[in-house]
Structure 1
Amino acid sequence: MARLNLLESTRYEKLPVTVYPDQRSASLAVAARIAKLIREKQALGKPAVLGLATGVTPIQVYAELVRLHREEGLSFANVITFNLDEYYPMLPEAAQSYVTFMNEHLFAHIDISRANIHIPDGTLAPDAVAPFCLAYEKQIEELGGLDLQLLGIGRTGHIGFNEPGSAPNSGTRLVTLDDLTRRDASRDFGGKQNVPVKAITMGIGTIFKAREIILMAWSRKKAPIIRKAVEGELSGEVPATYLQLSDHVEFVLDEGAASELTRFDTPWLVKDCVWDNMLIKKAVIWLSCTVGKPILKLTEEDYNSHGMAQLAVEKGPVYQINIDIFNQVQHTITGWPGGKPGADDSQRPERAEPARKRSIVFSPHPDDDVISMGGTFIRLVDQGHEVHVAYQTSGNTAVWDDDVLRYVEFAIDFKESVGEDTARLRGIYEDMRTFIEAKLPNQIDTREIRDVKGFIRKTEAIAGARYAGVPDSNIHFQALPFYETGKTKKNTVGEEDIAITMELLQRVRPHQVFAAGDFADPNGTHLVCFNIILAALNRLKESEDWVKDCWLWLYRGAWHEFATHEIEMAVPLSPAEVLRKRNAIFKHQSQKDRPVFPGDDEREFWVRAEDRNRETALNYDKLGMAEYAAMEAFVRYRF
């Protein structure tokens, strides 16, 4: 299994780190290590005592252990498990309980004895919690301690539920959850207000006693906290940094989670590099930001003093490097996202011809189009291109229940005002009220409620697209089946999802496709929707000639923004265009003020978008480019 563990490049890292190309290969490797431990203990006639974690991170590890049991005869008869934590209070049969999680992903599928499974009890009376925690510790000690402890890491740096401020010698106990931790869990509970405030967790001291500790992390979303945990100073504000004191810990990461470690983010600081154009561009922009100078004012001394002497020697003189990178960045700026007709396009991000292009903006949720590229969207329409927008999902899980009642009340009043009978609608309305009043966290809505939530988001999307100037005939609602589960957890992508997307692409035959490349969205929908588009285009290119002339552009903005060195097209927005974009976002009233799932950013979506667009323009300005009010950024994906 391929690893990217570069031992010679880890002088900034204070504990062992192994990096795999992706989450799957890393998970398989961890599962293989657990299986090896279990078999070694079996051969000795001893139990294997495992500390287990929950959450998204270990799911593929558990899936592989289940496969090893079913297909390769791995027995868990000698395995004793202790889970890290549990919400408090929490019923074991609740959908969000870690009892339910472990049964669903592991215990119900293997031959482990139920007597050997230990999970903190979320049903205890308050005065019974402390004695339970002491007994939990004693059980582990009587077994000789944990052979292996699996960990994930929260974005506060917590391990288990040991939040910032936890002591390094802490034991199993009741804790109060950090607000960020509760926000991260909000999607599982149907809103932060439903997430318990407390939890029972093993302590850092308990974890430290394990003979082997594996901390796993996946995706760029975890990259900032991984850098703090691996390269930062010991701090109670980042509990995972205490693992630096252990001689038997290993961090197992995918490329995304490792991306902000020095050896990957700024490799010139730790080793000699192979200087391709992208790395040179990244390094020069980094140097410009680090020393606070425009690109054209960087000197050889700046290069030599910041780990870039090798670049200066191999590719210099440095002024020529500066000019080359300055020109590359400058050439990404265009006021013509569909290409400038009749212009020399050799140094422009988009082709000049055809002068009037067919463009499809794919929007995973009904508001991603205007939030992430609303200014460019409007610019394409204003410049005469045939613009289509495709809303890939209904977004019906992200509408407040009281909005449903409000809209149905409006419908009743309207029908009565024109003399129509409302008896049936009133019956549906009363059923809705009854359901909502008794609704449990993340309970699946009735079909009628899901429909109304979908209608709300559909009408808002139509209003936004119309405001951008798109005719109704070019507004497409795909309602991809993978999304329509009524739950926050969606189905896997099926053939129908791809077929629906292929049909639209064949009908429009676009020269440009814009797709969400913001894969850090907390629900994962952006990545799923992008993969559907990519699968459709890859299939079509085998038989459809127009696909060869179709360019795929990725946009971001709702959750993160592209790094400056990655940007291939930057579309400047005037103050008036920023206001037009804001007004388009405002059409999505159900997402205004306080959306159901705000993610880790408390700002409203329109504020996030404007701040990020302003920051992109400011970054260009600092590099020595022209000063603009705002910029939307794009990266071309070559499929």
Structure 2
Amino acid sequence: MARLNLLEETRFEKVPVTVYASQQEASVIVAARIATLIKAKQAKGETAVLGLATGATPVKVYSELVRLHKEEGLSFSNVVTFNLDEYYPIQPTAKQSYVAFMHEHLFNHIDIAPANIHIPDGTLNKDAIHAWCLEYEQKIEKFGGLDIQLLGIGRTGHIGFNEPGSAPNSGTRLVTLEELTRRDASRDFGAKENVPSKAITMGIGTIFKAREIILMAWNKTKASIIKKAVEGDITGEVPATFLQLSSSVEFIVDEDAASELTRFNLPWLVKDCIWDKTLIKKAVIWLSQTLGKPVLKLTDEDYNSHGMAGLIVQTGPAYNTNISIFNQLQQTITGWPGGKPNADDSSRPERAIPAVKRSIIFSPHPDDDVISMGGTFIRLVDQGHDVHVAYQTSGNTAVWDDDVLRYVEFTIDFMKSSGKDVNELQQTYKDMRAFIAAKQPNQIDTKEIRSVKGFIRKTEAIAGARYAGLQDDHIHFMELPFYETGKTQKNAVSEVDIQLTIELLQRVKPHQVFAAGDFADPHGTHIVCFHIIIEALTRLRKTEAWAKDCWLWMYRGAWHEFEAYEIEMAVPLSPLEVIRKRNAIFKHQSQKDTPVFPGDDAREFWVRAEQRNRETARIYDSLGLADYEAMEAFVKWRFDEK
């Protein structure tokens, strides 16, 4: 019976998928499987042939293999490795090369023979690549083929660098990289234009020959492509779907990466559900959107024909549930994000008392405040609340080099016009120009250049906050040390980061805090900043009464909005407020037009924000609620439930 239940739950899935609670747990399991293979081969006096992947996905697997070697004596003396791919052209000494990656994360720490390591050569002459690729395939066959092939998955659905359009029988070859793939790599190279446009990769046909294929994926940024790869039709537009043709493949993912699979996202379509409040709200909103009908017009037949018969058996006629969900949605809408004074707040998102609240808006980068919640920011100030904004990092890696020179040139001219001595500054300027001219991709800027980039973003943030109505003493620049490395790779969070946050919270003693809750931020800074806030408030709640009564509202930024069923406070914006928010975003001129790290969306940040807010309003309208110009959405963090 248990097996039948599992088959029913996974009936939409066309490949085996194993889901683990966390990336760490899954990585340990994968590493253990590799170790078991190596030991079994050693016992027989045979060679273990591993196909290895690069990127963030396998890092913890390699870390666990290193631990097994150092602490449990796992030997790699009988191991031969073949890597999936390499950028072309690239020198093996470049930090971004996969040669450097593999040695940093694995080979430098184990006892593998250098002659047993095989990685595509990014230094070849172009006319030599074809012959080299044939030889690479022959070497794999000479060792008896790959025992295990590790894979990650790109957001284009590529495996290795087999981009959309790749043939299922393709072999090792030179390929051209998709724009999205290059954008995803831009932080490693300092900017997209520095990312090589080509790569050498094993083909899908080469991968298929492995006796065991393990595709790994972690976090919500991979959830959408995992759903396509696992449940979608086989298509060259999503190369990972070709793995559905293999009998030797297993997808190993964490809960976040699995979250869009039907059995987790729409469980009522595959099994009987335990209908709690959250699932009911999610299902009814899904039904309304699927049928294109307002919530109040859904019928018993609609429920019955879409896997939700058990719900109306539990709750009674559909209209009872419709009314309940409609009221819940209506009660999330408020024009008073700081609470409405002298009003019954029993069904409002925020408390009425105190009428004037102290609020801190934490902004991971110097523009997240206005991009994500600029309308609410302005509304809080207009309604008389004591609002502070705290910029957690300088954002100094996201400024173009030529902006640095432009600002320093301005300063030199200003000093000259004021009769100031500019000799020292002119020498600094010459040094900057010389450094920038010779700068390598992702090379750490000089201290002076980093300072100017930080000043540019700081003055923009001040301009934006002033436009929202804040006085200068309510604008805080935290410069959390974890970020201030000058590199795209940041340091681990330290006690200093937490203490700086605690000190600011103790000074202000806010009634409400707003923090970035978009954990799909492709650059990782948002989730790190959020965890710092959580740790600081968790400690303070143990000792300080005000902290126990401090509410934390999460907002989302330039990438994704909360799902409609998640939203607990929706702040409507009038057409004029949309324009005011846009003007606040415009103060961040270094991020306009084409920012250094735009992510996978070519739209400007103000356009993304506006369209996202309008889409939230459209969704509320389609569900049968009022038709607003735009809406900003928030979800409350509940400390007692975590």
Map 1:272-291; keep pairs closer than 5 Å: 272-291=272-291
Q: CA deviation at 1:355?
A: 0.5
Matched, 1:395 2:395: yes
CA distance in 2, matches of 1:32, 1:324: 49
Distance 1:398 1:460 in 2: 13
Cα deviations by residue, 1:356-410 (Å, 9 ceiling, x for unpaired)? 0000000000000000000000000011110000000000000000000000000
Match in the other structure for 2:523: 523
Q: Which residue of 2 aligns with 1:423?
A: 423
CA distance in 1, matches of 2:432, 2:577: 41
Shift of 1:283: 0.1
Matched residue, 2:85:
85
SS in 2 for 1:331: helix
Describe how 1:350-365 pairs up with structure 2 within 5 A. 350-365=350-365
The code of the aligned residue for 1:35 comes to A
Tell me the secondary structure at the aligned position of residue 482 of structure 2.
Answer: helix
- Written as runs of structure 1 = structure 2, the 5 A alignment for 1:253-264 is 253-264=253-264
Match of 1:325 in 2: 325
User: Superposition pairs for residues 197-236 of structure 1, below 5 Å?
Assistant: 197-236=197-236
- Secondary structure of the residue aligned to 1:564 is coil
1:485 counterpart SS class: coil
Q: Quick one: which amino acid aligns to residue 356 of structure 1? A: V
Q: Which amino acid aligns with 1:582?
A: R
What TM-score results when the alignment is normalised by the length of structure 1?
0.99
Per the alignment, residue 95 of structure 1 pairs with: 95
- Measured after TM superposition, the shift of residue 7 of structure 1 is 4.8
- Distance in 1 (CA, whole Å) between partners of 2:514 and 2:398 is 23
Deviation (angstroms), 1:542:
1.1
* Bigger mean CA deviation after superposition, 85-94 or 175-184: 175-184
Aligned position for 1:500 = 500
Judge conservation of contact 1:176–1:199 (CA < 8 Å) in 2.
yes
1:161-310 to structure 2, matched below 5 A, reads 161-310=161-310
Secondary structure of 2:327 counterpart: helix
Partner Cα separation in structure 2 for residue 277 and residue 217 of structure 1: 30
How much has 1:126 moved relative to structure 2?
Answer: 0.8
- The aligned residue for residue 122 of structure 1 is 122
TM-superposed CA distance for 1:557, in Å, is 3.0
Q: Secondary structure at the match of 1:258?
A: coil
Counterpart of 1:151? 151
Asked if the contact 1:557/1:612 (under 8 Å) is kept, the reply is no
Q: Structure 1 stretch 192-201 or stretch 19-28: which is displaced more?
A: 19-28
Deviations 1:57-90 (A, max 9, x none): 1111111111111111111111110000000001
CA distance 1:188–1:6, change in 2 (3 Å): farther
Cα offsets for 1:462-509 (capped at 9, x unmatched): 000000001110100000000011000000000000010000001111
Instruction: Read off the aligned partner of 2:22 and give its amino acid letter.
Output: D
User: 1:559 aligns to what?
Assistant: 559
Partner of 1:386: 386
2:414 is equivalent to residue 414 of structure 1: yes
Q: In structure 2, give the amino acid aligned to 1:545.
A: A
Structure 1 distance, partners of 2:313, 2:606, is 46
Shift of 1:28: 1.1
Q: Distance in 1 between matches of 2:279 and 2:486?
A: 44
Rounded Cα–Cα distance in structure 2 between residues aligned with 1:341 and 1:144: 75
Check 1:7–1:36 CA distance in 2 against 1; reply closer, same or farther (3 A cut). farther
Matched, 1:459 2:459: yes
TM-score (norm 2): 0.98
- Higher mean alpha-carbon deviation, 365-374 vs 215-224, is at 215-224
3-state DSSP of counterpart to 1:510? coil
Output the CA distance in 2 between the equivalents of 1:284 and 1:231.
Answer: 23
Deviations 1:157-184 (A, max 9, x none): 1000001111101110011111111111
- Residues 22-50 of structure 1 deviation map (CA, whole Å, 9 limit, x = unaligned): 11111111111111111111111111100
Amino acid at match of 2:464: G
The answer on whether the counterparts of 1:557 and 1:608 sit within 8 Å (CA) in structure 2 is no
Distance 1:210 1:287 in 2: 43
> C-alpha distance in 2, partners of 1:391/1:176?
39
CA displacement 1:269-306 (0-9 Å, x = unmatched) = 00111100000000000000000100000000100111
Is the partner of 1:263 in helix, strand or coil? helix
CA RMSD of aligned residues (A): 0.8
| Alignment gaps of 5+ in structure 2 | none
Contact residue 569 and residue 633 of structure 1 kept, 8 A:
yes
Task: Please state how far the C-alpha of 1:153 moved relative to its aligned partner.
Answer: 0.3
| Shift of residue 6, structure 1, vs aligned partner | 5.0
How far apart are the structure 2 equivalents of 1:304 and 1:557? 37
Partner of 2:512 in structure 1?
Answer: 512
Query: Which stretch shows the higher mean deviation, 366-375 or 27-36?
Result: 27-36
Give the equivalent residue in structure 2 for 1:635. Answer: 635
Secondary structure, counterpart of 1:481 in structure 2? coil
Gaps of 5+ in 1: none
1:63 alignment counterpart: 63
Partner residue of 2:18? Answer: 18
* 2:314 is the counterpart of 1:314: yes
Letter in 2 for 1:135: E
Instruction: Measure the CA separation in 2 of the matches of 1:70 and 1:623.
Output: 58
Partner AA of 2:18 in structure 1: T
Cα separation, 1, equivalents of 2:6 and 2:364: 37
Counterpart residue type for residue 105 of structure 2: H
State the match for 2:622 in structure 1. 622
Which whole-Å CA distance do the structure 2 matches of 1:336 and 1:6 have between them?
A: 47
Take 1:504 and 1:557, find their aligned partners in 2: how far apart are those partners? 23
Aligned twin of 2:549:
549
Counterpart residue identity of residue 375, structure 2: G
For residues 558 and 500 of structure 1, the distance between their equivalents in structure 2, rounded to whole angstroms, comes to: 26
Alignment-mate amino acid for residue 550 of structure 2? C
**Identical counterparts, % of pairs:** 77
